[in-house]
Amino acid sequence: MPRDDGGDGPRADGHHPGLDDLFVRPLLETVWRRRTHRVSRGANVPAGSMSHVSEQAPQPLTELEEAVLIALTGCTGLTMPDRPFDDPRNGKPIMAKPNLTMAGRTAGSPDNAQGTHFFLINDTGTYYLRKLDPAPGEPFDALTLTDRARQSKVQVLDHRLDVAEGLRDFPAYLDSNRFLSNLPGTTLLFPVVDLSHQYINALMYLLTQPDGARPTLVDDRNFYRPAGVKKWIRNGFLNEKLKLPLGALGPLRTQIEADLLLQNLMLVAEGMGLGAWIHASINPQIALGDPKFSRAYGKMLGFTFVTPRWRVADLWRWHIPLPRYANVRSHPVGLKAPNGEPLISAMCPPAFASMSDAVDAVIREKFGPGGVYGDKDVFSRIYREDYGRRYLAEASEYEDRVVECARDICAYILRTHRRFPAHTDAIHVPGVWLQAHHVERPYYEKYFTNGLTDAHRRHGELWDD
């Protein structure tokens, strides 16, 4: 059957034997047989008497193979707000609109923050993967997958994200990873997580607890003093005896999204018969372009970094002894495309003049015109009959005191520590990425008893014909 592009793209009718095989492959079998395959086609393995020299050329993933993986990083439909509206103990309303978005993905997310962004790296360059709206119907035909993948990709570099030749040692790469990671022919998916939206949202959600159960936020980097909440202790809104250090909040569990998504990607790559390997990425600070490393390694992805101005109090708060060491506390806050389009923007300066403005922006994105809970059409598609309208009318939102208290905490953090958040980065980088590649079959066949599955052995005939 002819293909639409005359080459290795999908067939004209959208069907593809590789997809057909993937759809019927048992999930439990894939999970049970899942193993890391680090050696990509064309790679050499210097290992003493088990050394291997490849006689094959590197073979990049096809557009469709990459499109399947790209689909796994994106939106897959709409979530369900299946939570109670009332406290069963006394019937009082409880906050039932915590989500930052109603768009679902293949992995869960705290309050559906979905702060994880992905970059894709291959032989043609480095791409930011834009989040698309859910595809109508089931987007599992080859033509739809490849079309959506093209829409998603925004090229940020015309080459692989990598360090210069001769710099693949620590701190750029870790140990033996430098010999097998990010080689020609491989595709990598690199996650970064914007924590700032959920940091603000989760603070507000935390402050919706019942009377007596709302904690007093204290600053463990400032002698455990109240974190801008003295007013709220005095008026009884917060429980002074129930203290919660800002440092204990950490990234508010938002970072687990990336780990779950990477696992899903690995399982799908395994089911496709590709090699898949989750491992330490290039040092995150180097990869994003932290000023501390850019002189040696270049701008790399070119994220915008904020470096808090040093003050004497940083001696005991952050153990920063002198102004020249202030860049120890630099953190990434955003990224723009080469044409200037904002791709990632943290909810803090410089994107906002103040943290009060940033908190207001989160509220608008949730409850304002065109916001998450202002789109009645979305909820009419989530619910049957008129239950979407009922949910929007009956489920409670943040009360004014919650928003005002959260605003005071956020303003305190920026005022005291000159960055937001202070106890975690605005944009968190897990420091791992997934490499997908065609496996070096002769190596696995020669040395390992169960080195390959039938999916690996049949991959060529199903996907690469």
Residue type, 271: G
pLDDT of residue 136: 75
* 457 found inside a domain: yes
Percent of the chain with pLDDT over 90: 93
CA angle in degrees (0–180, nearest 5) for 310-421-247: 95
Q: What is the pLDDT of residues 106-134, one digit of tens each?
A: 999 999 999 999 999 999 999 999 999 88
* 6 found inside a domain: no
Mean pLDDT (the chain) is 94
pLDDT of residue 112: 95
**Is pLDDT at 9 greater than 80 in this prediction?**
no
- Checking DSSP bridges between strand 239-245 and strand 215-219, what pairing results, if any? parallel
Q: What is the pLDDT of residues 392-409, one digit of tens each?
A: 999 999 999 999 999 999
Which three-class secondary structure state does DSSP give residue 128? strand
Q: Which one, of 332, 330, 364, 328, lies nearest residue 345 by Cα?
A: 332
pLDDT of residue 336: 97
- Distance (Å, rounded) from C-alpha 417 to C-alpha 419? 6
pLDDT of residue 165: 86
* 237 found inside a domain: yes
pLDDT of residue 6: 40
* 350 found inside a domain: yes
Residues facing 194 on adjacent strands = 427
Residue type, 305: F
Distance of CA 421 to the CA centre of its chain: 18
Contacts of 440 (CB under 8 A, 6+ apart): 39, 40, 41, 42, 43, 52, 54, 56
**Is pLDDT at 7 greater than 50 in this prediction?**
no
* 197 found inside a domain: yes
CATH number of the domain residue 402 falls in: 3.40.109.10
* 312 found inside a domain: yes
Q: Report whether 69 contacts 189 (CB < 8 A).
A: yes
pLDDT of residue 3: 38
Q: What is the pLDDT of residues 305-328, one digit of tens each?
A: 999 999 999 999 999 999 999 999
Instruction: pLDDT band for 14, please (50, 70, 90 cuts).
Output: low
pLDDT of residue 202: 96
Name the domain count of the chain: 1
* 408 found inside a domain: yes
* 1 found inside a domain: no
pLDDT of residue 2: 33
Q: What is the pLDDT of residues 410-459, one digit of tens each?
A: 999 999 999 999 999 999 999 999 999 999 999 999 999 999 999 999 99
pLDDT of residue 12: 57
List the domain range (segments joined by +) for residue 364: 17-463
- Distance (Å, rounded) from C-alpha 126 to C-alpha 124? 7
